[in-house]
Structure 1
Amino acid sequence: MSLLSVSAEPAGRSVFAGADIAATARLAWREGYPRPRFEDAVWSLVGWADAPVQMRVTEKNWPFDRIAYPPWRVVAKELALAWIATQDERVLALPHARRIPRHPRTVYARIYHLTFWLNWLHERRITTLAAVTQDHCEAFLHEYGVVRDKETGTALRDKTGSSLRTVVSTMQDITDYGELLSADRHRPGFRPWGKRSPRVVTGAPSRPQVVIKTAPLGDHVLRPLLTACLHLVDVLGPHVVDLRTALHAERDARQRVEWSRNLRDADRLASLVDAYLRTGQPLPRLEDAQVTKRRRCGWNPRDPLLDVNFQHLLRPTGHRDIGKALLVQARPLLEEAVAEVGTEYVWCRNAAEAPRADTGEMIPWSLPLSHRSADALIRVAGHACKVATSALTGMRSSELMELTVGCRRTDDVYGTGLARHRLVSKVIKARRWGGEVDEWVVVEEVTRVIALAEQLTDARPGQPLFGQFPGFESNGAITWLRQWVASPAGLRVGLEPIPDEPVHPRRLRRTLSVEMAARPGGLLATKVHFKHLQVATSEGYAGRPGGAQAVFHHEWKKEEAKEKLKRTVEAYRQFEQGQLPAGPGADALLAAFRAVETELADHEPGPAKVVTDRQIELLLKKKASVLHMSAANYCWFEDPAKALCLKLTGAKAAVAPLTGLCDSSRCPQATHHLVHRPVWQTTADNGAVLLASPRIPAGEKERLRADHERSMRVLEEIDKAAGKAG
């Protein structure tokens, strides 16, 4: 008998009784891990081989035993298995069942909501789902839709409609999968909210177009953040690796020592102290936490021996501490030694020199560190690797978590002799369950970051590099970085404090796309060659048109189109105010602006007689599409045959100008605006300084003089055009 002919009454025994959950849902399973069975009170998916790294352990354990009424636990199990085992013939027989399997993370969330719903019914002494009415559903949704204080129960806010859609969908699934349920089900003909969809019930907005609400990071945050990350990676990174190696070696050696309790041999203690005095090395200093502990135990705060680390001092003897009698006897000797050589932390004594981040002055890369501070610095360097990778690749947090030790790939695919760097990871978002393997083409800086991260982890090849992390905030990567940079250690190496603003992979991804779209010589170019960044991401897009980098490329191009239109409208508004463009292409641009002005003048905008920005944008959209922004000029690339850069190379056709060969003072499609004046002014000032230097050869001065005269001419043209009345 088919499932469709099952009566409205519960069948008694579940069709999934005794089922192997992994086999039924077709989940790949690791060897040695227990496989959950249908009858288990908690289904453990810890052995799921394709689980994304971002999936928490709690999400891998589905606790059906939290449902108070035992028969309804069976209902929840049948629904959960039906949600992921959509290809099972018993599920395929249901006319209203979903055909696309839900992700196990989603199923965990639905079990969570279902548990609240069923326990809510149980608290009201409802013992069968057949007794559920629409009034019950409305009352539960109203109560469940309010966020309350856990202690006082005071209502704090209402949940959004989008967050309640899953709740309504879960409640309706009891009817949609009713013919499969064996322990209990709704009465015939009843479905919560009838045929109304969860979106309609909750008032959640539809998704005609995805609107990106994440704001990019401002310059005042991105600049110090990126500077700190790359300084930690490129300058301090090798020293941090050496420190980590020394720490691990010291800890391994300490574990091999058979420790004795207290030293009582005065001669051995005297020989140890004498060795420090002969070399002039300070005695080992105790951790601050241990100093505090000594004070609580009654040590005098003014005791000269308060911060002496006896355990480290006595390590060659294999003793953990000094006997009380010996301490009294040897106190004069120890106090004399402290007075002569002092005390200092053990790690990073006589540190090698490294340049400061701001001035380049060579200083010791670190002051002496305690064990705890050394561990913290290693952790900060690891966080810097994570943040830098996110900032320079645009990878999502789920994709960062999927990076493994050994994910770097470097090759010469085109036979040019130039290295091409790639990272292998997985795309999780919008992909089936465990994700899909993909590659990111990256700049060389990213490979150095990953190489350092691999040296700062104990993970073996193939294991997660960064592992699971909840985010960059909430005591995450950014919190550690911000605290270290603002500490005396960070200020000492010339780093600028990172402002206290939210930083997370979404904002870094958004910032990268906006920077690449709007700033060809932008902020990131202060530490990373920005054109290389654009070339790398474009190459990744072209190499794998359907890959994850193509998605980021699409976001970047959307932002670029918006920025081009914004800059074009801005130039038009300046034209209206009498601030005209300069440069060889100024006349052509002015002709286009005057045509728009004429069209707006002849247009009847309506009773208000007001021309809106939107109307101007529509008229300038075609012109904006050919704009290519450079740091020193705008290139209106309408006719490749007129492009000076293409003529210089002999190229007959191209889809974009060759920015590296641009001579905007001679190209008929280039214009200069007030926004470009600071760049030309800086070039002119630098040229004047070099021309005044007696160290510059005469032949070089001739070339510099020509460049300086060109810069001054462009500045004069910009000022003259901006002052015209029109």
Structure 2
Amino acid sequence: MMNHPKTAAPDQVQPHPDPLARVDICEAVGLTVRPGGKRPLVGDLIWDFADLADLPVHLRPGQVRLDFTSIGNPKWRPLAQEYLFARMAPGHEAVRHLPSAFRIPLHFDTCRSRLAELARWFNWLTRRHVTSLQDVTQQHCQGFYDSRRHTRGTHGGPLRPTTSHTLMTAAQAVQEPVFYNDLFTTDRFTDGFIPWAGRTPYEVAGRTRSTENVVQPLRDEALRPWLAAALYIVQTLGPHVLDLVRAVRQYDDGAPWPGEGTHLERLEATIRTHLDQGVPLEPVGAREIGSRLVEGWSADDPLLALNVLSIAREAGLTSFSYRHLAPLRPLMERTVAAVGLRPRWAWNATPVERADGAGTVPWTEGFATAEEAGHMVERVRTACQVVVALLTGLRSSELAAMPLDACVPPQDLGAGRTRYRLRTKLIKGQEQLGGVWDEWVTVAPTYDAVALAIKLLDPRRPSKHVFGRTTMAKRCRSLREWVNGPEGQRLGLEPIPDDQINMRITRRTLAMALAHRPGGLLAAKIHLKHVSIVTTEGYAKARELHQTGEKSQVACSRRRPDGLQRYYELAF
């Protein structure tokens, strides 16, 4: 059982001078705020950096918001602010003289993680009736660390062991604030006290530093069908989807009715026109069919899949009143039986070569609704993202920041050679929060994929970026289901295994494909824009490279990384 030493009475706690009172955090860190935007100050319970002028696109609003009210003890909230300010602005005059302070500033993501763990630590102390940091002992530190060994359910019971990273983060939250003891104004640890003295959080958590990247690349059995499917969708289906988008955007929601009559008379006349001219009626989408079944429609109802709203639009009406369904039902059933149903768009789709080379098929079986056409557009945009991710190795932050003018005009090198470059922001490792502009040399299919993704953007939803903030793993799950489903198999696409895929995995896959070519290690470093060659070695399993005799000098330039074209050829 843990002993709880008595804490000092509130009137015995002597506050220290506050050198950070109401300091402008953005000014201290060197962040530019939009004119009229909010400027968080030390002392505010919530630091919201949403009004920064050059905020990276990949960051969500919650990722740039630090909420100190999550700490239950009000006395420790200023302390947490002082600690995180010191981690964000290590060069501030109140921080730089501290002998044990860290000198590398932390990013927003890391600060948010630190605050979350610090709140757990302080609230854990509060639940154990510790109200002053002067009473914290190594026994408390170890007790909190042990409490983080398992994730816990709603009733507090352990569910499963946590990762070593979680344990290291817990050790950091306990140990690091002690190094800023002289900066704190409302409470301080006992002079000379350091949790786990002589051991770093890495050592406490039993971790060993490794230069090798732990993210596993895609297996060849998954890489080949992913790349082949994405390229087929972009190159073969993409142009037809562009035509589909133009048709959907030009669709007339209904012209004025040229004659007179009641709504019922106009609907009846429209249906009779279809019957007399033999023109098929339009179906509804699968989603609407499901809704009708839930509402009580019979699965055998001949009108179950009939789009009554399209009939109303042809009659010059904006909606279909279901009180007209009963009197029109006999005529509707007779018309459906005689002319059938046909999708509104692409019902006479152009034939294309199957992906497996086994003849030609229509590129689609048609789209009954604009919503279904929109889903197809998103599939193509996802395929564009997969192509870009697999053939450029961009980070998610770099993909999100890609602007609408990302496609740099191709450069003719003569002798039938053309250089393709894509422009976006390099964010990781840069002093500027919003990153710096840079260019990636790539192959023509990647360049074309970005150009197609730009054309498929919805003008009704203006965007400054090609892809913006997106979750690749979720989008790829949906695309994989389509490829492995009836439509993808009709097109002859090879089924894609259920391997995990995301931006980190695609980046690691490309790194190894480049680096394991002759002279490719430095080429991978240049193309992936790593700061250090050690990072590239970690991505590419440098030990394996050396064991296989990778000793040659790099025979490539920044303009044409060796191995990229060969990597593209894996799809064929």
Per the alignment, residue 308 of structure 2 pairs with: 310
Tell me how far apart the structure 2 counterparts of residues 552 and 383 of structure 1 sit (CA, whole Å): 32
Name the CA shift for 1:172/1:626 in 2 (closer, same or farther; >3 Å).
Answer: closer
Is 1:177 aligned to 2:180, yes or no? yes
Tell me how far apart the structure 1 counterparts of residues 270 and 337 of structure 2 sit (CA, whole Å): 16
- Work out whether residues 420 and 447 of structure 2, in 8 Å CA contact, stay in contact via their aligned partners in 1: yes
Per the alignment, residue 7 of structure 2 pairs with: none
Larger radius of gyration: 1
Identity between Structure 1 and Structure 2 (%): 33
Name the CA shift for 1:556/1:361 in 2 (closer, same or farther; >3 Å).
Answer: farther
Alignment of 1:479-498 (within 5 A): 479-498=477-496
Per the alignment, residue 567 of structure 2 pairs with: none
Q: 1:163 aligns with which of 134, 158, 166?
A: 166
Is 1:154 aligned to 2:158, yes or no? yes
Give CA deviations for 1:357-382 in whole Å, capped at 9, x if unaligned: 11263322111223333222111111
Consecutive unaligned residues in structure 2, runs of 5 or more: 1-11, 556-561, 564-572
Per the alignment, residue 681 of structure 1 pairs with: none
Per the alignment, residue 501 of structure 1 pairs with: 499
- Work out whether residues 165 and 202 of structure 1, in 8 Å CA contact, stay in contact via their aligned partners in 2: yes
Deviation at 1:467, TM superposition (A): 1.9
- Work out whether residues 511 and 528 of structure 2, in 8 Å CA contact, stay in contact via their aligned partners in 1: no
Name the CA shift for 1:333/1:413 in 2 (closer, same or farther; >3 Å).
Answer: closer
Per the alignment, residue 265 of structure 2 pairs with: 267
Amino acid in structure 2 at the alignment position of 1:382:
R
Tell me how far apart the structure 1 counterparts of residues 537 and 179 of structure 2 sit (CA, whole Å): 38
Per the alignment, residue 138 of structure 1 pairs with: 142
Tell me how far apart the structure 2 counterparts of residues 557 and 146 of structure 1 sit (CA, whole Å): 30
Deviation at 1:74, TM superposition (A): 1.0
Deviation at 1:143, TM superposition (A): 0.8
Per the alignment, residue 450 of structure 2 pairs with: 450
Per the alignment, residue 196 of structure 1 pairs with: 199
Alignment of 1:321-720 (within 5 A): 321-324=320-323, 326-359=324-357, 361-371=359-369, 372-412=371-411, 418-432=417-431, 433-458=433-458, 463-472=464-473, 476-516=474-514, 547-548=529-530, 562=544, 566=548, 621=549, 625=551
Which range moves more in the overlay, 275-284 or 376-385? Answer: 275-284
Alignment of 1:1-12 (within 5 A): 10-12=14-16
Name the CA shift for 1:298/1:355 in 2 (closer, same or farther; >3 Å).
Answer: same
Tell me how far apart the structure 1 counterparts of residues 320 and 142 of structure 2 sit (CA, whole Å): 69
Tell me how far apart the structure 2 counterparts of residues 152 and 179 of structure 1 sit (CA, whole Å): 36
Deviation at 1:507, TM superposition (A): 3.1
Tell me how far apart the structure 1 counterparts of residues 389 and 214 of structure 2 sit (CA, whole Å): 19
Per the alignment, residue 246 of structure 1 pairs with: 247
Deviation at 1:22, TM superposition (A): 1.6
Tell me how far apart the structure 2 counterparts of residues 267 and 483 of structure 1 sit (CA, whole Å): 45
Per the alignment, residue 227 of structure 1 pairs with: 228
Give CA deviations for 1:607-661 in whole Å, capped at 9, x if unaligned: xxxxxxxxxxxxxx5xx75799xxxxxxxx9xxxxxxxxxxxxxxxxxxxx99xx
- Work out whether residues 148 and 157 of structure 1, in 8 Å CA contact, stay in contact via their aligned partners in 2: no
Amino acid in structure 1 at the alignment position of 2:269:
S
- Work out whether residues 516 and 556 of structure 1, in 8 Å CA contact, stay in contact via their aligned partners in 2: no
- Work out whether residues 513 and 555 of structure 1, in 8 Å CA contact, stay in contact via their aligned partners in 2: no
Deviation at 1:448, TM superposition (A): 0.5
Tell me how far apart the structure 2 counterparts of residues 490 and 303 of structure 1 sit (CA, whole Å): 29
- Work out whether residues 33 and 53 of structure 2, in 8 Å CA contact, stay in contact via their aligned partners in 1: yes
Amino acid in structure 1 at the alignment position of 2:400:
M
- Work out whether residues 513 and 559 of structure 1, in 8 Å CA contact, stay in contact via their aligned partners in 2: no
Amino acid in structure 2 at the alignment position of 1:196:
R
Amino acid in structure 1 at the alignment position of 2:233:
L
- Work out whether residues 517 and 559 of structure 1, in 8 Å CA contact, stay in contact via their aligned partners in 2: no
Amino acid in structure 1 at the alignment position of 2:430:
R
Name the CA shift for 1:177/1:387 in 2 (closer, same or farther; >3 Å).
Answer: same
Which range moves more in the overlay, 422-431 or 64-73? Answer: 422-431
- Work out whether residues 515 and 524 of structure 2, in 8 Å CA contact, stay in contact via their aligned partners in 1: no
Name the CA shift for 1:257/1:353 in 2 (closer, same or farther; >3 Å).
Answer: same
Deviation at 1:110, TM superposition (A): 0.6
SS at match of 2:405: coil
- Work out whether residues 18 and 37 of structure 1, in 8 Å CA contact, stay in contact via their aligned partners in 2: yes
Give CA deviations for 1:588-624 in whole Å, capped at 9, x if unaligned: xxxxxxxxxxxxxxxxxxxxxxxxxxxxxxxxx5xx7
Name the CA shift for 1:381/1:337 in 2 (closer, same or farther; >3 Å).
Answer: same
Tell me how far apart the structure 2 counterparts of residues 554 and 298 of structure 1 sit (CA, whole Å): 60
Tell me how far apart the structure 1 counterparts of residues 516 and 228 of structure 2 sit (CA, whole Å): 20
Per the alignment, residue 236 of structure 1 pairs with: 237
- Work out whether residues 402 and 464 of structure 1, in 8 Å CA contact, stay in contact via their aligned partners in 2: yes
Name the CA shift for 1:337/1:40 in 2 (closer, same or farther; >3 Å).
Answer: same
Per the alignment, residue 50 of structure 1 pairs with: 54
Deviation at 1:9, TM superposition (A): 6.4
Per the alignment, residue 645 of structure 1 pairs with: none
Is 1:111 aligned to 2:119, yes or no? no
Is 1:69 aligned to 2:73, yes or no? yes
Tell me how far apart the structure 1 counterparts of residues 52 and 255 of structure 2 sit (CA, whole Å): 41
Tell me how far apart the structure 2 counterparts of residues 296 and 461 of structure 1 sit (CA, whole Å): 36
Corresponding residue pairs, total: 539
Deviation at 1:383, TM superposition (A): 0.9
Alignment of 1:27-106 (within 5 A): 27-106=31-110
- Work out whether residues 216 and 510 of structure 1, in 8 Å CA contact, stay in contact via their aligned partners in 2: yes
Deviation at 1:351, TM superposition (A): 1.6
* Greater helix proportion: 1
- Work out whether residues 283 and 307 of structure 2, in 8 Å CA contact, stay in contact via their aligned partners in 1: yes
Per the alignment, residue 29 of structure 2 pairs with: 25
Tell me how far apart the structure 1 counterparts of residues 447 and 505 of structure 2 sit (CA, whole Å): 22
Deviation at 1:81, TM superposition (A): 1.3
- Work out whether residues 10 and 185 of structure 1, in 8 Å CA contact, stay in contact via their aligned partners in 2: no
Which is bigger in relative contact order (C-alpha 8 A, separation at least 6)?
Answer: 2
Amino acid in structure 2 at the alignment position of 1:111:
L
Deviation at 1:214, TM superposition (A): 3.6
Name the CA shift for 1:518/1:281 in 2 (closer, same or farther; >3 Å).
Answer: farther
Amino acid in structure 2 at the alignment position of 1:75:
L
Name the CA shift for 1:545/1:278 in 2 (closer, same or farther; >3 Å).
Answer: closer
Give CA deviations for 1:540-561 in whole Å, capped at 9, x if unaligned: 97xx799449969955996799
Amino acid in structure 1 at the alignment position of 2:330:
P
Per the alignment, residue 652 of structure 1 pairs with: none
Name the CA shift for 1:32/1:484 in 2 (closer, same or farther; >3 Å).
Answer: farther
Deviation at 1:193, TM superposition (A): 2.4
Per the alignment, residue 278 of structure 2 pairs with: 280
Give the TM-score normalised by the residue count of structure 1: 0.67
Tell me how far apart the structure 2 counterparts of residues 558 and 323 of structure 1 sit (CA, whole Å): 64
Name the CA shift for 1:158/1:364 in 2 (closer, same or farther; >3 Å).
Answer: closer
Give the TM-score normalised by the residue count of structure 2: 0.84
Tell me how far apart the structure 2 counterparts of residues 347 and 538 of structure 1 sit (CA, whole Å): 50
Which range moves more in the overlay, 105-114 or 274-283? Answer: 274-283
Consecutive unaligned residues in structure 1, runs of 5 or more: 1-7, 521-533, 567-620, 629-636, 638-657, 660-726
Tell me how far apart the structure 2 counterparts of residues 540 and 238 of structure 1 sit (CA, whole Å): 32
- Work out whether residues 399 and 428 of structure 1, in 8 Å CA contact, stay in contact via their aligned partners in 2: yes
Per the alignment, residue 580 of structure 1 pairs with: none
Deviation at 1:61, TM superposition (A): 1.2
SS at match of 2:494: coil
- Work out whether residues 69 and 122 of structure 1, in 8 Å CA contact, stay in contact via their aligned partners in 2: yes
Tell me how far apart the structure 2 counterparts of residues 177 and 625 of structure 1 sit (CA, whole Å): 47
Tell me how far apart the structure 2 counterparts of residues 462 and 377 of structure 1 sit (CA, whole Å): 20
Deviation at 1:126, TM superposition (A): 1.3
Give CA deviations for 1:667-720 in whole Å, capped at 9, x if unaligned: xxxxxxxxxxxxxxxxxxxxxxxxxxxxxxxxxxxxxxxxxxxxxxxxxxxxxx
